[in-house]
Amino acid sequence: EVTKDWNGADQVAIRSPRGASVRVCLHGGQVVSWRNDRGEELLFTSSKAIFKPPRATRGGIPICFPQFGNCGTLEQHGFARNKIWTIDEEAPPLNYGDNNNNKASVDLLLKPSEDDLKCWPHCFELRLRVSLSMDGDLSLISRVRNVNGKPFSFAFAYHTYLSVSDISEVRIEGLETLDYLDNLSQRERFTEQGDAITFESEVDRVYVGSPGVIAVLDHEKKRTFIVRKEGLPDIVVWNPWEKKSKTMADFGDEEYKQMLCVDAAAVERAITLKPGEEWTGKLELSAVPSTNCSDH
């Protein structure tokens, strides 16, 4: 099902037979909504978000490519999130029940424009498959192919804005004892000490070499997000907290309490592709009720 969004940029929606849904915008290849089968929105979008290309919308899952943050010559987080993607006609969409699969999916494609090639002279194809399982799990699979004559390197992140009830009641499990680069102190390297990660001030970190599965526990909502990733060694954790929130035009002053960015990413070490090579980076998100033993 293809629907139009508020500004005429195409959106694609997938709805599972049990009522879960996901909406993806061709602007940025950005997932802008993910709802469970009770209709609850699981991703944060700011009430002040600006839905106007070429700017990425504040919320959902923008794609950072080929640069993360401002480490490079390109615009912050690279250009992919600001571009209009197309439906990838070469990849026929999966539908529930076809060949007994329990997923439906849509495939998007981004190729560089003449302008992109001027600031980043590498011919690539970036494909994104967004799938929703019958149970409402969301999966994003990205493939970057080098169709250039020379090798190139890039960074990548699924900049995932999770919706939480109260940031002070949230903790992340799975990143304890890891090293992280702290964006708040010129990417200085520290080692995480605590048990689980909790929040009481601004956080902007790249946890390097993180495990394939981490959990984000929302105590108040009694909900746990399970984040599974492949091909993406790092996890970026970001919450702007009070002071920074006030400096962002497209973000409410108090909204930092309702969001947490947990990005499956390849940031510390760039990914290099030789001519003809392809890289795959996969993110799977599930939202499950917290069990008694993990909800303490």
Q: Which of residues 236-295 bind ligand BG6 (CB under 6 A)?
A: 236, 238, 261
184 by DSSP, 3-state: which? Answer: helix
Q: Give the contacts of 207 (CB within 8 A, at least 6 positions apart).
A: 175, 178, 179, 180, 192, 234, 235, 236, 237
27 versus 103: smaller Cβ distance to ligand BG6: 27
Q: Residue 296, exposed/middle/buried by CB under 10 A (0-12, 13-18, 19+)?
A: exposed
Query: What are the Cα distances from residue 145, in Å, to 29, 110, 179, 183?
Result: 17, 11, 30, 29
Q: Is 82 in the site for ligand BG6 (CB under 6 A)?
A: no
Q: Is 199 in the site for ligand BG6 (CB under 6 A)?
A: no
Instruction: Tell me the β-bridge partners of 73.
Output: none
Q: Which helix (H) or strand (E) holds 34?
A: strand 30-35
In one letter, which amino acid is 156?
F
Q: Residue 13, exposed/middle/buried by CB under 10 A (0-12, 13-18, 19+)?
A: middle
Residue 69 CB, nearest approach to ligand BG6 (Å): 5
Residue 68 CB, nearest approach to ligand BG6 (Å): 7
Residue 7 CB, nearest approach to ligand BG6 (Å): 19
Residue 238 CB, nearest approach to ligand BG6 (Å): 4
77 versus 229: smaller Cβ distance to ligand BG6: 77
**DSSP states of 144-177 as a string?**
EEE-SSS-EEEEEEE--EEE-S-GGGEEEES-TT
Q: Is 85 in the site for ligand BG6 (CB under 6 A)?
A: no
Rounded to a whole number of angstroms, the CA Rg of the chain reads 18
129 versus 159: smaller Cβ distance to ligand BG6: 159
Q: Is 69 in the site for ligand BG6 (CB under 6 A)?
A: yes
Dist CA 47 CA 168 (whole Å):
21
Q: Residue 280, exposed/middle/buried by CB under 10 A (0-12, 13-18, 19+)?
A: middle
Q: Which stretch binds ligand BG6 (CB under 6 A): 42-50, 69-77, 218-226, 280-288?
A: 69-77
Closest residue by Cα to residue 122 from 46, 181, 191, 67: 67
Q: Which of 159, 223, 229, 282 binds ligand BG6 (CB under 6 A)?
A: 159
Q: Which of 27, 77, 143, 282 binds ligand BG6 (CB under 6 A)?
A: 77
- Asked if residues 62 and 81 have their Cβ atoms less than 8 Å apart, the reply is yes
Q: Which positions from 87 to 116 touch ligand BG6 by CB under 6 A, shown as an x/- string? A: ------------------------------
Q: Which of 105, 183, 210, 224 binds ligand BG6 (CB under 6 A)?
A: 183
34 versus 256: smaller Cβ distance to ligand BG6: 256
Q: Is 76 in the site for ligand BG6 (CB under 6 A)?
A: yes
Q: Which positions from 4 to 43 touch ligand BG6 by CB under 6 A, shown as an x/- string? A: ----------------------------------------
Instruction: Tell me the β-bridge partners of 291.
Output: none
**In this structure, what token pair is assigned to residue 37?**
């089968």
Q: Which of residues 134-153 bind ligand BG6 (CB under 6 A)?
A: none
20 versus 110: smaller Cβ distance to ligand BG6: 110
Residue 183 CB, nearest approach to ligand BG6 (Å): 5
Per CB under 6 A, residues contacting ligand BG6 are 69, 76-77, 159, 183, 204, 236, 238, 261
